[in-house]
Every structure is written in C-alpha cells, then in structure tokens.
Structure 1
Amino acid sequence: MKTETTKKTPVPPGLGSRGRRYWRDILADNELGPSELVLLAEICKTLDLIDQLDAQVRADGLTVEGSAGQQRLHPAITEIRGQRLALNRLIGALDLDDADDVDEKVPTPASLRAKHAAEARWMKKNGTTPDRPRRRLIVSGSGSSPV
C-alpha cells in the first residue's frame, strides 16, 4: 500500500541501487516521521557502503599485502563487520513493526550474551535448558539408556 510519505519524500540523492530499493520498499509499507526518515537514510547509506566494501574485497581478494610483505586479512572485511553491526542497530532504532518478521528479528550481541547467561543459570538450577526437557535414565536389565 502506497502512503503519502512515499509521494512526499523523494529518494535522497547519492544513494546506490540497494539503498534506493530499500528506501522505496520501506516507504511503500510504512509512514515515517522526520526523525525516522533520517534513520532510514542512514540505513540506506550503510547498505550502500557495505556493498562498496564488499565489491572492493571481491576485486582485491580476502588478503592483501601488509607493510612487511606478509599476507593479511583485507581491512575492508573488518569494516564490513562494523558496518553490519551499525546497520543492525540502525534497523533496531527504526523499530518498524513488520508482522511477517516479528519472530525473526536479528538479535544483538548483548541480547545473545544475556540469553546465554540466562540459559546457563537455568541449567545450573534445573539441570537442563528451558526449551529442552530433562532427560531421565531408565535402567533396564543390563544397561541404561536416556529417554
């Protein structure tokens, strides 16, 4: 469904193909306020930057020559990783309600650490994680087998 925001808000100049496509896709289904449009523009720029860095890595290869002639990881790979983290945070800050993807949000590193810590505490207390039932040993005849 097209909204008034789509008609009023042109694609920011300087965006690449992926950024323009994302801009149009988001505004096709959502009405955004001014601060949300700023976040959306940053998301689109970040997507384009990731694409540019990825193209550079594809052109140069995964490794480059270091200052002493040694092979080292391409510095753009580290930057891509950082830009993906920034992208994840920007998308989280935009906080769009997408009914199709409610259960498929990308977890942040902090939420993954918190989940792991909670599971460890649960395991220590209950002997298993919350989503897996405790296994019982059934002793039968000559051996035992977990159930």
Structure 2
Amino acid sequence: MTDLDPLDRRLLDLLQRDAGRTLRQLGEEVGLSPSAVQRRIGRYQRAGIVDRQVAILAPDAVGGALLAVVLVTLERESSEHHARFAGRMLATPEVQQCYAVAGEWDYVVVLAVRDMPHCRELGEHLFKNDANIRRYNTLPVFDRVKAGLEIPVSRERGSSP
C-alpha cells in the first residue's frame, strides 16, 4: 500500500504518537468520522502498515532502566554465525534493539538493564563468552536525548521539509 493520501499520512502520524486516542478524537484531528477512521486503520492493519500497537512504558515509573549501546564485531561472518548471533539477541529480553550494520562493526545492540552489574553480567553472557565475537564495546547511556519509533510519513518522498 504505497498510495497513501494526505489524510492517511496525517492519521498514521497521529497513530504513531498515540494509538490510544479514540476514533472520535482521531477523526476530529483529520476531519473524518469515527467509522471512516476505523476503516482506514483496518486497511493499514491488513496492508501490514500498522504492524502492532504497544504500550510504551516510562522507565522511571517502573523502577528505571539503564540503557547501554553495545558495538559488536564477529570473528567469522558466515550466514550461520550471523543467524546464531541474531537468534541469541531475539531470545534475550534485555536486548531492546539490534541492528546489523555496515562498517567497522557488524552489530549495534541496545540493552535495557537494571544497573551496571547487570549490564556487565549480561555482556559477559552474550558477548564475552562467545568464541565467534572478535570484540565488543559497551557504551552506557547517560542521558536519553531522544527516543522514538515514529516513521516520518506526513510528507511525500522526495519533497523538501
């Protein structure tokens, strides 16, 4: 579904910011009836544009979480080694995000842990005790400057800001 009209783009922006708004509230923002909004949202879900809806927790409200960014380089880079690494990341709840990247490092991993001892313990478990990891570097996050998951859809591709 690539033929999104301006109302679709505006509605998708609003849903990304807060999918908990009522159909009426969303409709008032975009100038549609609640039933028209519901039909569009259903279309986005069927088309795979809206993958899922989740609750985003405030870390401080649930006891806090220390974030750490880990840069990882594998020793051997076969598809089997990458699949094994990805499987471990997928199976670890503390791994919040994991990206295969180009350049000096093979992966960027974002961890959400209780504290520094937990970070050290998890790092040793996930990265130090793996014979196929050449090196890794853990960077504790001091301040969250911006954290988001929104995909810009309000403008057409190629248009200037």
Tell me the TM-score normalized by structure 1. 0.27
Specify which structure has the bigger relative contact order, considering alpha-carbon pairs within 8 angstroms and separated by 6 or more residues.
Answer: 2
Larger radius of gyration: 1
Q: Which has the higher helix share?
A: 1
Tell me the TM-score normalized by structure 2. 0.26
Q: Which has the higher strand share?
A: 2
